[in-house]
Amino acid sequence: MLKRPRRNRSSAAIRGLVRETQLTANHLIQPLFLVNGQGIKEEITSLPNNYRMSLDEALKEVEACLALGISNFILFPAIPEEHKDKTGTFSYHPDNFYLKIALEIKARFPEACLISDVALDPYSIDGHDGIVRGGKIVNDETLDVLGKMAVAQAEAGFDLIGPSDMMDGRVQKIRESLDGAGFTDTGIMSYTAKYASAFYGPFRDALDSAPKASDDIPKDKKTYQMDPANKREALIEAELDTAEGADFLMVKPALHYLDVIALLKDNFELPIAAYHVSGECAMLMAACRNGWLEYEKAMPEALLSIHRAGADAIITYFAKDFATLSS
């Protein structure tokens, strides 16, 4: 035998020399679920170890993460029913606690990078990412709301705007709105290939943002989020986002879509982000809590796989735990 691949695995030192991928806390983005109020830290039943937090608790969490080397955070609001309407106007209202919390976090921790979520669903009585009319999600009118939302978020100090709505033309609309308001340095992390996935359940529990079921309203997001069966279509979305001025191209979910991550990595120069979504994290956690998998080993392997597939940045509910384990 002339070739023996096992030679390069024969000691920890040699394995270190030939290791192709290293994941650090630098690559990770910690999601935070935010509520209005004080002293609130409620665990999300379907996503153990993750909480809906008020400002004071969120500040403690950001401080703890920064100390562990996590500098990137993506923020999501749980909006009370009385602030929801058909067109998501509370998203850019000056009283929106989401914007105020971002301002406070940036004031206390300017070194933290804050990423926003742009979509109507947390603010919509219909639970959809766009405006619903006559049983349809109306694209172009929704863009106006998204533009306003993005500018309000930039004013609140968000470093990266995260359109997760999948409307056509949204990246260009947001880029023009930001530039028009003087926010030329605020970036866009676009949810480029976001699939109509069954793995968003715990997230929708956390925010009470599931699409509502009624005769006039589509019960799912299949007319705007992508079909899980499609891969080549992700190239169309990536071309558009690149042309429209995105700074990151995101694939979501992550673990079940590693082929899509690799495809975009191979075909585009922009950095690739991947969203390791709530359901993907919840299933791993459930298996670990049952004693069927070992958390300390299975969790880092899952994140490493996403990085190896080509994701530069990974949004994951395990960010803090990963950093804790590797510190």
Catalytic residues: 194, 252
User: Smallest distance, Å, CB 157 to ligand PBG?
Assistant: 20
Other C-beta atoms closer than 10 Å to the C-beta of 185 total 8
- Of 22 and 121, the one with the shorter C-beta distance to ligand PBG is 121
Q: Does 121 bind ligand PBG (CB under 6 A)?
A: yes
# chain residues binding ligand PBG, by CB under 6 A:
10
- Of 154 and 255, the one with the shorter C-beta distance to ligand PBG is 255
DSSP secondary structure letters along 197-254: -GGGHHHHHHHT-PPPPBTTB-SSSTTTSBPTT-SHHHHHHHHHHHHHT-SEEEEESS
User: Smallest distance, Å, CB 228 to ligand PBG?
Assistant: 13
**Which positions ≥6 away from 317 have C-beta within 8 Å?**
30, 31, 47, 49, 50, 276, 278, 281
Q: Does 203 bind ligand PBG (CB under 6 A)?
A: yes
- Of 132 and 277, the one with the shorter C-beta distance to ligand PBG is 277
- Of 121 and 159, the one with the shorter C-beta distance to ligand PBG is 121
Q: Does 241 bind ligand PBG (CB under 6 A)?
A: no
With b meaning 16 or more CB within 10 Å and e meaning fewer, what string describes 291-302? Answer: eebeeeeebbeb
By three-state DSSP, how is residue 195 classified?
A: strand
DSSP secondary structure letters along 134-186: TTEEEHHHHHHHHHHHHHHHHHTT-SEE-B-S--TTHHHHHHHHHHHTT-TT-
User: Smallest distance, Å, CB 170 to ligand PBG?
Assistant: 12
Stretch near ligand PBG under the rule CB under 6 A, chosen from 87-95, 135-143, 197-205, 226-234: 197-205
Q: Does 126 bind ligand PBG (CB under 6 A)?
A: no
- Of 129 and 237, the one with the shorter C-beta distance to ligand PBG is 129
- Of 238 and 281, the one with the shorter C-beta distance to ligand PBG is 281
Decide the pairing of beta strands 41-44 and 47-53. Answer: antiparallel
Q: Does 123 bind ligand PBG (CB under 6 A)?
A: no
Q: What does the per-residue mask of binding to ligand PBG show for 135-164, with x meaning CB under 6 A?
A: -----------------------------x
**Which positions ≥6 away from 138 have C-beta within 8 Å?**
130, 131, 132
With b meaning 16 or more CB within 10 Å and e meaning fewer, what string describes 219-257? Answer: eebeebbbebeeeeebbebbebbbebbbbbbbbbbbbeb
- Give the C-alpha separation, 296 to 65, whole Å: 18
User: Smallest distance, Å, CB 121 to ligand PBG?
Assistant: 5
Q: What does the per-residue mask of binding to ligand PBG show for 98-117, with x meaning CB under 6 A?
A: -------------------x
Q: How far is CA 186 from the centre of its chain?
A: 17
User: Smallest distance, Å, CB 258 to ligand PBG?
Assistant: 17
Q: Does 119 bind ligand PBG (CB under 6 A)?
A: yes
Tokens of 151: 């500018």
User: Smallest distance, Å, CB 317 to ligand PBG?
Assistant: 7
By three-state DSSP, how is residue 58 classified?
A: helix
Q: What does the per-residue mask of binding to ligand PBG show for 264-303, with x meaning CB under 6 A?
A: -------------xx-------------------------
Residues that bind ligand PBG (CB under 6 A): 117, 119, 121, 129, 164, 200, 203-204, 277-278
